[in-house]
């Protein structure tokens, strides 16, 4: 059940981040899931560096952290692809 929650959480975070970054048409569902889950780890790491709470469960704060991390990930990937 925990894996299913991470997949749903990652899909939602990745989808919102892809809309914010303007890459929604280029990404499919699997890419959104992967970007969202990796983004949750990146966002959690970034927040921990600033002394704030990272991803703490399935709540709004954690979703915002995951979206932040996914946006950072998409930005860095965009820089590398240029």
pLDDT digits (tens, 9 = 90+) for 5-29: 888 888 899 999 999 988 878 888 8
pLDDT tens digits, one per residue of 35-63: 988 998 999 899 888 888 777 777 888 88
Q: How many CB atoms lie within 10 A of CB 61?
A: 14
Give residue limits of the domains in the chain. Answer: 2-81
pTM of the model: 0.86
């Amino acid at each position: 059940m925990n894996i299913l929650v991470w997949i749903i959480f990652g899909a939602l975070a990745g989808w919102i981040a892809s809309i914010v970054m303007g890459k929604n048409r280029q990404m499919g569902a699997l890419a959104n899931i992967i970007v969202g889950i990796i983004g949750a780890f990146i966002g959690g790491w970034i927040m921990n560096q600033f002394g704030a709470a990272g991803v703490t469960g399935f709540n709004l704060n954690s979703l915002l952290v995951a979206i932040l991390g996914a946006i950072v990930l998409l930005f860095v990937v965009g820089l590398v692809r240029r």
